[in-house]
Chain A
Amino acid sequence: MKAWVLAQKDLRVYFRDRIAVLLGIGLPLVLCTVFAGAMGAIGSHDSVGRIELVIEDADRSAASRELVAELEKSKGLELDVLAADSKDTARGRVAEGDAPAGILVGAGFSAALADGGDLPLTLYRDPAKSIEQQILAGNLIPAFLGALGEGVGKRMSAKVLETLDFPMIGRERAQAILDASWTNMESLVQSIEDQGGLAADDDGSADEVTQADAGSGEDAGAGGFDFASGVAEILGIQVEDVTGGEEHAQAEKRGMQANSVAGMAVMMLLFGLIHCGGTLLDEQESGTLDRLRLAPGATGAILGGKFLFTWVVGAIQLLILFLFARLVFDTPIFRAPLALFVLSTATAAAVTGFGVLFAVVSRSRKQLEGLSTIVVLSMSALGGSWWPLAITPDWYQKLGHFTLNAWAMDGFQGIFWYGKDLSGILPEIGVLSGIALATSLLAWRLWERRLRV
């Protein structure tokens, strides 16, 4: 009975701060929406898991164009075909972190296809983006089958027999049977297409195949089996990891660690610094704020002081996290120290701006906690701290870049993974500084209004 009386009291107290209650109720709703959006449950799901693939066509033949056209049909891929006169290369674009993968269709592709020789195809990939690689691999199979048809099918059959270590004595016969099957299948597909049957399946089943493949690939990737390499090998594509060293598994591990360090650094920084900004509310509740206001010229200095304090704490937090990452994960924090220093400073400033702004708009600690939890978790999910943006719909990816998490993560990954220096991360530093400036100015205006006597 007394427990119920106590509970009633707590319920009364809890529901008194209506804004805090609304924020508390709003949190799961907002997070639900963000999660559903990431998984493609909002709007059209056509663009979910679309992987950017850079195409460099050095062959410029009808066959290579047909391959590109088939790849373009794939719903899981977003092609970026380099122009003939482009100075960019597929390898360079992937190495810069602009795309998770690229394919070079080498000169002589058409001839090799005709005479059955080795195809001059190279897949450049970023091992840090392992989930993207699995989705890509799942999408390459139908595209290559569509473009190269029977030819690639027969290559795949030969590869399968080789992989199975099929006895040489019967291999020629087995190959002939499989080749005939491919020819029959080609005819069957053609006749179905002629009747318009396959077109009806395009939106649904084809997608399911690629997504299912991607899903199994993710599991396999985590277990050490390189699904993407396996698929590329069967399709007769050379694979090259453009960054992270020669050993793929190690590179993949280091890349994922770099991602995690960057993602968690920003999210935890947001949580920590919003708490620091909240000391402004503590000053108000304890009465010291009035005492501070009574000091000459202190009105502006109060907010400036909170900004500096929060900024310094943020910088220390980042420093400790990066030193930890260096010791435990071997994250290359000393690769570009100036770039890392400037980016960390800009990130801490942007996060500080948010922290101080939230503290100024909140009227109580409870409100601040509700507001900051919603915003930090949403921004982290939208900005890529929790999962790669590449597996989310296009609109989600675009929205993600309205968060400071995405820009900060791009910057940190640029340094840790792609070996960029200060000049390479200037856009990220610019955006983060802009966020810091905008949020601080807004906080300043609201603060002035609030303290107006």
Chain B
Amino acid sequence: MTTREPRATVIEARALVRRFGERVAVDTLDLELRSGECLGLLGPNGAGKSTTVRILATLLAPTSGTVRVLGLDPVTEGERLRARIGVVPQELALYEHLSARENLEFFASLQGLSGTLLSDALAQGLALSGLAERANDRVKTFSGGMKRRLNVAVALAHGPELVFLDEPTVGIDPQSRERIFEMVESLRARGVTMIYTSHQLGEVERLCDRILILDRGRKVAEGSLAELQRHPEVHRRGGASLRFAAGGEAARARALLAERDIACELEDDAPDLERIFLDLTGRALRDREDA
């Protein structure tokens, strides 16, 4: 996890609300993202992650609040904005009866690419996703991992300035996941701004500069991993918090306490993101469907 120098504001949302009937999917959310940053959007199912992404990506209008993306209003200036953003949807939004090349070519040409630009984008997309050798095979013959990689490549073909990745690694093998990480890291290296939503906390830890945790449509916490580790709600679940100077001390302490029949939880290191996440959002099941 790296920290970058903040630059120009790419996304600015104030008091964003989105209702679906009585249900509030996004509740007075403030969000800011600077150029070149990668923001990890975390939250249990139904927290409002996908709804937030859809609003920012021009696919859904907010019920209230203000939002600017790349200096444009996604509702009234969506047409201009769409050429500058890329969205990797949760679903495999591909045509199964077309080949990888045909899928890439179709979506890139819809984004206005043609001639050399288009052929370069195709070559780059196929290489980046590791599908060059299977470029002419129909997508329906691909494994889940190959489809996921193509799903990402399609969103990046037109060289967007801002990319939304909505759980891009769901249900794939470690090799394909690693390749997608490489694709995201190459985007970061090029200074592309990103919002990355995932349930895989390790991914967010690895790829994102900042993390925003949503729960029931509301922002619960925001900051770098180090900042979240110091969040007042973390480690405040009752009982005491101990820090040991050297590794292995926790094991000794645990053994001593066990001898005296004292129940406790002891950790050697600072809380990881999973722990932070559970501390901030609670352990209760969230069965509400993610909007």
Residues of A within 8 A of B (CB): 286-288, 290-298, 452-453
Contact = CB atoms under 8 A, between A and B. Distances in A.
Interface string B77-112: 011101101010111111100000000000100111
**Which 9 A-B pairs have CB atoms at the shortest separation, nearest pair first?**
A287-B91, A295-B110, A287-B93, A453-B61, A291-B93, A296-B83, A288-B93, A296-B82, A294-B82
B128 to A, nearest CB: 18
B56 to A, nearest CB: 12
B58 A453 contact: yes
Interface in B49-77: 57-61, 74-75
A292 B59 CA distance: 11
Given A290-B89, A291-B89, A453 B60 contact: yes
A453 B75 contact: yes
Contact of B94 (A288, A452, A453): A288
B46 to A, nearest CB: 19
Contacts of B57: 294
Contact of B110 (A287, A292, A453): A292
B80 A296 contact: yes
Contacts of B118: none
Given A286-B91, A453-B75, A295 B82 contact: yes
Interface of B: 57-61, 74-75, 78-80, 82-83, 85, 87, 89-95, 107, 110-112, 154-155
B89 A287 contact: yes
A297 B83 CA distance: 9
Contacts of A291: 87, 89, 93, 107, 154-155
A240 B92 CA distance: 67
Given A291-B87, A291-B154, A296 B93 contact: no
Contact of A294 (B80, B85, B91, B95): B85
A287 B82 contact: no
A293 B110 CA distance: 10
Given A286-B93, A291-B93, A296 B58 contact: no
A30 to B, nearest CB: 33
A292 B58 CA distance: 12
A292 B82 CA distance: 11
Contacts of B91: 286-287
Contacts of B112: 296
Given A291-B154, A453-B60, A453-B75, A296 B111 contact: yes
A212 B59 CA distance: 65
Contacts of B78: 453
Given A290-B59, A453-B59, A295 B111 contact: yes
Q: Which of B58, B75, B91 has the most chain A CB within a 10 Å cutoff?
A: B91
Contacts of A298: 110
A316 B83 CA distance: 35
Contacts of B90: 287
A291 B57 CA distance: 11
Nearest to B110: A295
A334 B18 CA distance: 61
Contacts of A287: 89-93
Given A294-B57, A294-B87, 15 more contacts: A286-B93, A287-B93, A288-B93, A288-B94, A288-B95, A290-B59, A290-B93, A291-B107, A293-B59, A294-B82, A295-B107, A296-B80, A297-B79, A452-B61, A453-B60
A256 to B, nearest CB: 40
A399 B82 CA distance: 48
A187 to B, nearest CB: 82
Contacts of B83: 296
A291 B95 CA distance: 11
A270 B58 CA distance: 35
A296 B93 CA distance: 17
B130 to A, nearest CB: 21
Nearest to A453: B61
A294 B94 contact: no
Contacts of B60: 453
A291 B110 CA distance: 10
A296 B58 CA distance: 11
14 contacts: A286-B91, A286-B92, A287-B91, A288-B93, A288-B95, A290-B89, A291-B93, A292-B110, A293-B59, A294-B87, A295-B82, A295-B107, A295-B111, A453-B61
A83 B58 CA distance: 68
Contacts of A286: 91-94
A298 B82 CA distance: 10
A294 B79 contact: no
Contacts of B94: 286, 288
A284 to B, nearest CB: 11
Nearest to B61: A453
Nearest to A293: B59
A274 B173 CA distance: 40
A296 B82 CA distance: 6
B253 to A, nearest CB: 51
Nearest to A305: B110
Contacts of B111: 295-296
Contacts of B58: 294, 453
Nearest to B89: A287
A39 to B, nearest CB: 45
Nearest to A452: B61
Q: Which of A288, A290, A291, A453 has the most chain B CB within a 10 Å cutoff?
A: A291
A345 to B, nearest CB: 27
B231 to A, nearest CB: 34
A296 B61 CA distance: 17
A398 B83 CA distance: 52
Contacts of B79: 296-297
A288 B97 CA distance: 13
Q: Which of B74, B87, B110, B111 has the most chain A CB within a 10 Å cutoff?
A: B110
Nearest to B155: A291
Nearest to A451: B59
A453 B154 CA distance: 23
Q: Which of A290, A293, A295 has the most chain B CB within a 10 Å cutoff?
A: A295
Nearest to B58: A453
A294 B59 contact: yes
Contacts of A295: 82, 107, 110-111
Contacts of B93: 286-288, 290-291
Contacts of A290: 59, 87, 89, 93
A294 B162 CA distance: 13
Contacts of A294: 57-59, 82, 85, 87
Q: Which of B61, B82, B154 has the most chain A CB within a 10 Å cutoff?
A: B82
Nearest to A289: B93
Nearest to A285: B91
A329 to B, nearest CB: 35
